[in-house]
Structure 1
Amino acid sequence: MRIPLLLILSLISILSVAQSVVSGPFQGHTTSHSTKVWFLGKGLDTVQYKAYNLMDSADIHTGSISADYDYCHKNSCPFKFELGNLKELGTYNLQIIADGKVLSDQEIQTIRNYDVDDFSFLIGSCAFIGTGKDKLYKLWNSTRIFNTLAAENNGDFMLWMGDNVYLMGKDYKSLNKSIKRYAKVRQHKKLNRFLKTKFHYAIWDDHDYGPNNCDGTFPQKENSKKIFDAFWQNPNAPHKNGIYFSMKYADIELFMLDDRYNR
């Protein structure tokens, strides 16, 4: 009986260690009083979150969230939640907790409620990150840019303009393989480090929608949309007919258009 008992104890230990946050958390749409949060959890079912204001000990926000099981790769699943009633220009410590253990501990922020002020933001697209054998697809490709972006202190937020993930031929034909691509890319160390430093907004282009130069006739577009919505935290609730959105920041409005779904 000793061997089975040791085996069971070993499996319990392995499962316990496997519970972790493998990407994020990062902030999506953020206002003066709210923020949307995303992370990728491994071996997690339901977790608790706790955000407390570093300048006001009475300003505490807690809750629980379950994994989005429809978009898991093996045992790595996306989690999304929103924190409301936050203080303007507040700095909070956010903890992700499972079974009483703190898995992630980092600072998040809200913005100032202003109408006119100078600000800057980062913008980029075409972020090819190879996984597995696909690293050979672009041998010259470098991901050092994410270190540069992470060190950039002046950008208030990051605007992803599409091709944020490159779905290869075997990916966009399969929901599960597309999810795998997203999950693998999000765990890239340099990208993950950058994601934690800014608020992030995203639209897509052809390569994170489907095949090269594809349009609204792409038969798997609903799957592409569902995965996109599961892995980003844009201002609006998901639409039925695309991933477009608008947002106001300081004295400007941004209208982010979907150039694929209805094309």
Structure 2
Amino acid sequence: MTAGDDSIRVLHVDDDEAFSELVADSLERRTEGVVVVETPSDAATALTHLDEGLSVDCLLSDYAMPGANGLEFLAGVRERRPRLPFVLYTSHTDEELVAEALAQGVSAHVRKGAGRAHYVKLANRIRRAVSEARAEATVDRLEHAMNAVREGVCVVGADGCVKYANRVYLDLFDYDREELLGERWERVAPADADTVVGDVLPFTPDNEEWCDDGVDSDERSASVSETPDGELVVTVREFETGKRA
């Protein structure tokens, strides 16, 4: 089966092949954008597909299957693709089993059913799991990018509390991330608090950026920019010894 560029590509693992075909047909006919690309009947075959580089956005898996159950399959998936959304799709209603599955990293549990409403619900849960995974991946990419820059970056929310600080910023001022997040802006001011209140905050709305070429010493410079939603982005750069950029 072929998925379009905007489709969510699902690999559905169930030892009942007739049921797998029904699910694939129902999802594609009754929902928009969810496409079942493969329907292996056991975990080993599904893992082989992943090892061969099959492009999928979500796994839909039964629990009771030959060779390996759904949670054993999940363990194999996590070794290969740690953040691939995994929806446990079973007839089981055992609360302990569901709780264990969620604790081990299953994205969601959906009980098997029939009818248009059921497949709309299933498709929506698949979309949500994929959306959450993509959002996490985006945050990770941004985090890697922010930690790759040479400048220290800190974001202060409109409420005056620290929302984010990259690794360089934490190292420059010897902060622990857990210690800093949620603290008031006074802790991250590039100059003393009186200067920030008198010069920085009144300046940023009209001029977008405030700069200080001598924060703390001649070895650092700082700038403060305001975003459209009222957040302040504090950027601090440490000069190389004896050099000014």
- TM above 0.5: no
Higher helix share: 2
Higher strand share: 1
* TM-score, normalised with respect to structure 2: 0.23
Greater relative contact order (CA < 8 Å, ≥ 6 in sequence): 1
* TM-score, normalised with respect to structure 1: 0.22
